[in-house]
Structures are given as structure tokens and as C-alpha cells.
């Protein structure tokens, strides 16, 4: 039925009332109109839109469906129906609605946008990205599209592309706090912390009370080493929203970084009290307990690393592998019929650290299949011929997914290391280098006290800075008479060695034919051929310690970068008997520490 001038005027007036925020008056007018024209698709759509915006989803759904029945070509009503279905948890139905709408209007950016949102809800990021890209080709001026496009790219860890999307959105709408916030998160993920902090400042200037922004800026300040600034952000969160556990957790991290361990533990406990399922706070408390050697409480909290949290993402590169692990019964340490699968987690250093429990585990007689970094398969197989090893992969080897029970390597200490005294069972050595390769490198290094040097961690950010120096900083070690120094640092060290030579430093032997990242069996042989490794906290420390080689592990000012390098006053590593910790409160920077260690080395070589 064609609209009368009066009907058209009523619809127009209802729209004006909606624009003015006079929702109840608009609803009365629309209902009055529908009482005389119950099949008016436009009025039905307007009433459905009003109800959807008010959260009255059932009524909105009914009127949107009625609008579509009255006019099957009403694309606006279909787009609204998809939105209602998405907001009420019917994502698959919403996707079907959007797809039907696209068949009618294939170039409608709003429909493509809504479809992208639903695809994100359904966990189909690549398809969502395609939907947003199609929408942007039609309506590139829409900042919200750029924002969602960037969010999907961020979730896919395509950070440079995500940054471009957020920048495009800000170019069109520079006053949108969310775009500044997302841009800051992306810069932080790229390691561009200074730029990230400036972007967080922009976001907070637009939304000063936003606790999400304060939390992320506080974390970025921690990463930048600004513990005081971070503490300020987290204290502000606690004052503004005392029920938000993230404020206590963040302040705990800031206090721990400053060495206030008891205060940090109290803050983590406050966070857990407010949010018992807050796995990040539980994990932080676990690491603090481990640092303080409170193993009886630490390991139970450490298990929370596997729960949904920021840390869970670090367990495996592919989250789908964690999901596969969780489908298998958890091994409790008691004998089971069949095989137990030990799954690798975190980085190579963590894998080696937790592998120190393997000798004790092998003695239980339980059938075990162990997943280890493929670069170390030969070494593990030489050391433990009675165990089965498979290479770490995503998806995991079928020997793991078909096992009767499963455990992550990091859960082994909870079974076997409940006290400090139980660490008496730690093996002196764990892995074995190939004997013929050891003899080869020993002859190439030559006579003298053979010292392997490693000075840098691949880790970035705050922890990376605490674990890395330059090769020129290590120059005093090369000047010690009677030594032969060998570069075992992974990564490209050509420029650093050239700089050392130009500065008049002594020669540093490097085996150019070895890929120090991939050829770990060769690296093990080089380390075995040496008498001592002097290193910062990095993978080489774990490799040498697993061989049982003497290791001097350096960090300034007794600020151990990880719990396992913290000592109990004897400067020995509890996990690796061959590791000596070289640190002291007064040796609070790298130059002091290295000078002290060089004198220690002189005495060692001379003695």
C-alpha cells in the first residue's frame, strides 16, 4: 500500500524524535502508525531499530522479521536482524542473514561490516578480514571499518599491517580514543615502546578514566623500565576502580621490579582475592614464590599458566596445540597403562630446565614419549636411549595426541621438586655432545684455558635489556693471559667482532661454518670442548649447564632475570649444579660486574 503524505510525515517526525533522543515519544508515534498500517515496513524497521538500541532484543527481533516479511527487499531490516542475532549469541544465524542481505545488496558496506564482526565472533579471522577489506573498498572513509580491520590483523599478529589500518582510521577521525589505544597496543607489540607510550597518552587525554588504557600504559611503562610511572598508573586504577584486580597485579609487578618482594606478593594475593580466576596474577605469584624458593606453594599456582591468560599465549606458538593437549587426561605422576606424553612448552631454555627431571622420571619405569626441540633430538637420544623423543611441532606428533595421559614439561617439578632439599636430585649433566665433534673443536681451539663467551639474549624489551650487553663490554675477558676465547653467541656477530678488532681487542675465535641457531648439536660440541662458559642469561647458559660444563652466569645487582638464576646466598644455581652465579648488590651495573668477573677469571687461570 503506498504511503500517504500523513504516513510519510509521521515517519519523518519519528526519525526526528529519535535523533533528539526522545525515544519514548518516537515509540508511541510509531506504534500509533502501525495500529492503522500494521504492514508498514519502514515503521516496523524504525521501531525494531529503536528497540534494538534500547536492548529490547526480543521485541526488536519480532519487528525486524515483520519488516522483512512486509518488504523482503528491505536491506536495512536484514542488516538490523543480523545485528540482533549477533548480539544475542546467534552468530551462525546472523552470518546467514548477512549473506542473504549481500545477495540483495552486494556493495553495502554496513552489511559487510556486520558480517565481519560475526566472523570474528565465530573465530574466522581470515574471512572477517576479507569482509572488512571489501567494505573498505566501498567506504574507505569509515574509521570504524579501519579499526576493526586493524583489530583482526593484530589478532593475526600482522602488526605492521594493523598499524597501517589504525593510522588510516586516525587520519579520518583523529579524535577517536579507541584508535589511539589500538595503535598504542600495536606499537607495543612491535617493541616500539616509546611511541606506544605517546599513543597511550593521546588515548588517555581523550578518555582520562579508561582503566583498560591505564592498565596497558602501566604495562608498557614496566617494559620501558619506568617502574615509578607504571606504579602511578596502577595506583590510579586501584583508587578509581578498587575491584579491578589488574591494578593490584600491575602494581605487584612494579614493586617486584623494584625488589619489594613481600609487598609484591601481597599485591598479587589481593588481585587473586578479587578475581580468583585471574591466571596472570596467579602466575606472577607463582614466579615470585619460585624466586623465593617457596616451592610448596609455587607449583600449585604455576599450573594456572595453562588457563586463559596473557601467559597462556606463550605456552605454544599455535594455541590449537594447547587445545589438543587439554583433551588428553592429565598425568598425575602415578603409573598408567600405555604411554605418557610430555609436551614441550615455552622456549628452549625452559625445555632444557625442566628436562633436568628426566633422569628421575626415566627411573620410574613409566613408558614416556618426550617432545623436544628438533635441533636437540640427537643430544637427547644420546643421553636417554631408553626414552622416546619426537620433534616439537604444531600440530604435535601423533605419539603425543594418542598418548594415554599428558603433561607439559613445566609441570614435572610440581611432581618431583616440592622442597629445596628435593633439588639434591638434580643431575650434574643432562645432555651429551657427539664425542668426535668435541675432539674436532678442541683441536681447532688449541691449547690454553678455553672460554666460550655469550653476551646477548634474543629476547626484547625489559627482560632482554637485563640479559644483554655488547661484545665490546666483554673485551676484558679476552685480555686475560693464557686464555683462548670462543664466540658461541647465536645470531650475526660479524659487525661486533669487527668493532672489537678495530678497538684493539684480542682475537675471538668463531666457527663460520656453524649456524649457531640451527646447528645446536655443533654448538653443544663447541661448548663441551671449552673449559668454561661466561654468559648472560640466554639459551647457551642452559645448553652448557645441561652438559654439566662450568658456567659463570652474570647479572648485575643481584637482580636475577628469572627465578631459576636466583641463588640462596651460595651463588650456586639450584637447578644446574655446574652454574655459578656471578653477581652482588654492589656490582650494580655491567661495567662493574664485568671488571669483577675479569679479575675472577685471572685468578682462575693463574691458579
- Please check whether residues 339 and 306 belong to one and the same domain: no
Please state whether 214 falls in left (phi above 0), alpha (psi between -120 and 50) or beta.
alpha
Report, as an integer, the average pLDDT of 337-344: 96
Domain membership of residue 162 (yes or no) is no
pLDDT at 246 over 70: yes
Using a pLDDT cut of 70, give the percent of the chain over it: 93
Specify the length of the chain in residues: 607
pLDDT for 465 equals 62
**Tally of domains in the chain:** 3
**Chain CA centroid to CA 239, Å:** 28
Q: Which of 405, 394, 387 is nearest to 344 (CA)?
A: 394
Domain membership of residue 338 (yes or no) is yes
Separation CA 531–CA 522 (nearest Å): 16
- Please check whether residues 338 and 463 belong to one and the same domain: no
Separation CA 266–CA 275 (nearest Å): 14
Across the chain, mean pLDDT equals 91
Report, as an integer, the average pLDDT of 283-309: 91
pTM: 0.83
**Chain CA centroid to CA 37, Å:** 57
- Scored b (16 or more CB within 10 A) or e, 59-72 reads ebbbbbebbbebbe
pLDDT for 516 equals 94
151-160, 261-270, 451-460, 548-557: range with lowest mean pLDDT: 451-460
Confidence class for position 20, pLDDT limits 50, 70, 90: low
Domain membership of residue 215 (yes or no) is yes
Q: What is the 8-class DSSP label of residue 550?
A: -
Domain membership of residue 136 (yes or no) is no
pLDDT at 13 over 80: no
Confidence class for position 289, pLDDT limits 50, 70, 90: very high
Report, as an integer, the average pLDDT of 41-59: 77
93-97, 210-214, 438-442, 543-547: range with lowest mean pLDDT: 93-97
Separation CA 254–CA 241 (nearest Å): 18
pLDDT at 42 over 80: no
Of 314, 340, 358, at which residue does a domain stop? 314
Using a pLDDT cut of 90, give the percent of the chain over it: 75
Of 280, 314, 348, at which residue does a domain stop? 314
The runs of H, that is alpha helices, within 311-371 are 319-325, 348-355, 358-362
- Do the beta carbons of residue 531 and residue 450 sit within 8 Å? yes
Domain membership of residue 157 (yes or no) is no
Contacts of 72 (CB under 8 A, 6+ apart): none
Contacts of 156 (CB under 8 A, 6+ apart): 125, 126, 129
- Please check whether residues 292 and 346 belong to one and the same domain: no
- Please check whether residues 394 and 444 belong to one and the same domain: no
Confidence class for position 592, pLDDT limits 50, 70, 90: very high
User: Cell numbers of 347, please?
Assistant: 622456549
pLDDT for 464 equals 55
User: Cell numbers of 537, please?
Assistant: 642469561
- Please check whether residues 362 and 458 belong to one and the same domain: no
Report, as an integer, the average pLDDT of 45-55: 75
Q: Which of 480, 468, 584, 456 is nearest to 532 (CA)?
A: 480
pLDDT at 245 over 60: yes
CATH number of the structural domain spanning residue 326: 3.40.50
User: Cell numbers of 66, please?
Assistant: 515483520
Report the SS3 class of residue 312: helix
pLDDT at 17 over 70: no
Confidence class for position 53, pLDDT limits 50, 70, 90: confident
Report, as an integer, the average pLDDT of 548-573: 95
CATH number of the structural domain spanning residue 244: 1.25.40.10
CATH number of the structural domain spanning residue 485: 3.40.50.2000
pLDDT at 4 over 60: no
- Please check whether residues 367 and 484 belong to one and the same domain: no
Report, as an integer, the average pLDDT of 413-427: 95
Of 425, 449, 484, at which residue does a domain stop? 425
Separation CA 44–CA 68 (nearest Å): 9
Give the position of cell 606428533. Answer: 397
pLDDT tens per residue across span 107-124: 999 999 999 999 999 999
Give me the sheet containing 579-582, strands edge to edge.
483-487, 449-454, 532-535, 551-554, 579-582
Domain membership of residue 130 (yes or no) is no
Domain hosting residue 519, numbered range: 435-606
Confidence class for position 77, pLDDT limits 50, 70, 90: confident
Confidence class for position 406, pLDDT limits 50, 70, 90: very high
CA distances from 559 to 81, 254, 522, 531, 575 (A): 58, 14, 32, 27, 18
pLDDT for 52 equals 78
pLDDT at 449 over 80: yes
Compare 22 and 244 and report the one with higher pLDDT: 244
- Do the beta carbons of residue 390 and residue 370 sit within 8 Å? yes
Burial class (CB in 10 A: 0-12, 13-18, 19+), 266: middle
pLDDT at 536 over 90: yes
**Chain CA centroid to CA 573, Å:** 27
End-to-end Cα spacing for the chain: 106
Domain membership of residue 174 (yes or no) is no
pLDDT for 551 equals 98
Compare 355 and 305 and report the one with higher pLDDT: 355
pLDDT for 16 equals 63
- Do the beta carbons of residue 69 and residue 38 sit within 8 Å? no
Confidence class for position 11, pLDDT limits 50, 70, 90: low
Helix axes 227-240, 211-223, angle to 10 degrees: 160
Report the SS3 class of residue 565: helix
The runs of H, that is alpha helices, within 1-74 are 5-19, 23-36, 41-53, 57-70
Report, as an integer, the average pLDDT of 78-83: 84
pLDDT at 400 over 70: yes
pLDDT for 310 equals 63
- Please check whether residues 358 and 228 belong to one and the same domain: no
- Please check whether residues 306 and 340 belong to one and the same domain: no
Q: What are phi and psi of 300, to 5 degrees?
A: -65, -40
Instruction: Kindly report whether the peptide bond that precedes residue 395 is cis, defined as omega within 30 degrees of 0.
Output: yes
pLDDT tens per residue across span 153-181: 999 999 999 999 999 999 999 999 999 99
pLDDT for 305 equals 86
Report, as an integer, the average pLDDT of 550-568: 95
- Please check whether residues 262 and 401 belong to one and the same domain: no
Compare 327 and 458 and report the one with higher pLDDT: 327
Domain membership of residue 234 (yes or no) is yes
- Please check whether residues 271 and 326 belong to one and the same domain: no
33-42, 239-248, 424-433, 499-508: range with lowest mean pLDDT: 33-42
CA distances from 171 to 39, 144, 164, 165, 368 (A): 44, 12, 10, 10, 57
- Please check whether residues 581 and 469 belong to one and the same domain: yes
- Please check whether residues 513 and 462 belong to one and the same domain: yes
Torsion angle (degrees, nearest 10) of CA 177, 179, 181, 183: -150
- Do the beta carbons of residue 17 and residue 46 sit within 8 Å? no
pLDDT at 537 over 90: yes
Amino acid at each position: 500500500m503506498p504511503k500517504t503524505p500523513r504516513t510519510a510525515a509521521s515517519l519523518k517526525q519519528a526519525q526526528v524524535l529519535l535523533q533528539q533522543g526522545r525515544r519514548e515519544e518516537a515509540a508511541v508515534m510509531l506504534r500509533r502508525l502501525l495500529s492503522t498500517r500494521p504492514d508498514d515496513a519502514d515503521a516496523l524497521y524504525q521501531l525494531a531499530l529503536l528497540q534494538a538500541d534500547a536492548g529490547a532484543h526480543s521485541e526488536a527481533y519480532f519487528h525486524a522479521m515483520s519488516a522483512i516479511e512486509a518488504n523482503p527487499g528491505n536491506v536495512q531490516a536484514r542488516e538490523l536482524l543480523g545485528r540482533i542475532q549477533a548480539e544475542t549469541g546467534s552468530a551462525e544465524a546472523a552470518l546467514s542473514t548477512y549473506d542473504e542481505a549481500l545477495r540483495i545488496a552486494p556493495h553495502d558496506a554496513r552489511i559487510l561490516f556486520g558480517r565481519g564482526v560475526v566472523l570474528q565472533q565465530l573465530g574466522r579471522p581470515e574471512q572477517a578480514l576479507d569482509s572488512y577489506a571489501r567494505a573498505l573498498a566501498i567506504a574507505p572513509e569509515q574509521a570504524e571499518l579501519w579499526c576493526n580491520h586493524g583489530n583482526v590483523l593484530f589478532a593475526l599478529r600482522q602488526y605492521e599491517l594493523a598499524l597501517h589500518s589504525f593510522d588510516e582510521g586516525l587520519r579520518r577521525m583523529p579524535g577517536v580514543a579507541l584508535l589511539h589505544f589500538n595503535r598504542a597496543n600495536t606499537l607495543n607489540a612491535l617493541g616500539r615502546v616509546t611511541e606506544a607510550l605517546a599513543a597511550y597518552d593521546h588515548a588517555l587525554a581523550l578518555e582520562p578514566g579508561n582503566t583498560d588504557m591505564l592498565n596497558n600504559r602501566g604495562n608498557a611503562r614496566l617494559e620501558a623500565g619506568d617502574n615509578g610511572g607504571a606504579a602511578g598508573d596502577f595506583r590510579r586504577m586501584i583508587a578509581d576502580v578498587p575491584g579491578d584486580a589488574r591494578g593490584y597485579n600491575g602494581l605487584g609487578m612494579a614493586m617486584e621490579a623494584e625488589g619489594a618482594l613481600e609487598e609484591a606478593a601481597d599485591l598479587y594475593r589481593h588481585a587473586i582475592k578479587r578475581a580468583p580466576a585471574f591466571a596472570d596474577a596467579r602466575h606472577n605469584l607463582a614466579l615470585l614464590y619460585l624466586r623465593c624458593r617457596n616451592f610448596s606453594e609455587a607449583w600449585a599456582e604455576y599450573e594456572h599458566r595453562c588457563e586463559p591468560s596473557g601467559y597462556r599465549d606463550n605456552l605454544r606458538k599455535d594455541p590449537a596445540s594447547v587445545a589438543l593437549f587439554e583433551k588428553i587426561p592429565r598425568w598425575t605422576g602415578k603409573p598408567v597403562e600405555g604411554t605418557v606424553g610430555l609436551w614441550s612448552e615455552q622456549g628452549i631454555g625452559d625445555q632444557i630446565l625442566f628436562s633436568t627431571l628426566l633422569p628421575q622420571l626415566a627411573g620410574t619405569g613409566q613408558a614416556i614419549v618426550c617432545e623436544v626441540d628438533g635441533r636437540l633430538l640427537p643430544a637427547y637420544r644420546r643421553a636417554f636411549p631408553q626414552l622416546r623423543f619426537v620433534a616439537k611441532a604444531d600440530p604435535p606428533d601423533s605419539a603425543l595426541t594418542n598418548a594415554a595421559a599428558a603433561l607439559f614439561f613445566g609441570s614435572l617439578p610440581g611432581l618431583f621438586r616440592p622442597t629445596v632439599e628435593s633439588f639434591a636430585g638434580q643431575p650434574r649433566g643432562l645432555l651429551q655432545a657427539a664425542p668426535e665433534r668435541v675432539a674436532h673443536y678442541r683441536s681447532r681451539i688449541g691449547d690454553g684455558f678455553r672460554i666460550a663467551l655469550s653476551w646477548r639474549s634474543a629476547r626484547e624489551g625489559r627482560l632482554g635489556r637485563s640479559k644483554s650487553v655488547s661484545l665490546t663490554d666483554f673485551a676484558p675477558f679476552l685480555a686475560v693471559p693464557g686464555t683462548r676465547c670462543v664466540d658461541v653467541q647465536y645470531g650475526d656477530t660479524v659487525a661486533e667482532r669487527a668493532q672489537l678488532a678495530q678497538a684493539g681487542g684480542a682475537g675471538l675465535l668463531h666457527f663460520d661454518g656453524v649456524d649457531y641457531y640451527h646447528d645446536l648439536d655443533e654448538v653443544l660440541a663447541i661448548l663441551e670442548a671449552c673449559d668454561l662458559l661466561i654468559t648472560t642469561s640466554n639459551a647457551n647458559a642452559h645448553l652448557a649447564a645441561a652438559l654439566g660444563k662450568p658456567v659463570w652466569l652474570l647479572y648485575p645487582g643481584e637482580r636475577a632475570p628469572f627465578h631459576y638464576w636466583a641463588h640462596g646466598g651460595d651463588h650456586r644455581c639450584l637447578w644446574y649444579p655446574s652454574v655459578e652465579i656471578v653477581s652482588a648488590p654492589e656490582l650494580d651495573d655491567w661495567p662493574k660486574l664485568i671488571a669483577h668477573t675479569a679479575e675472577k677469571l685471572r685468578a682462575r687461570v693463574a691458579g
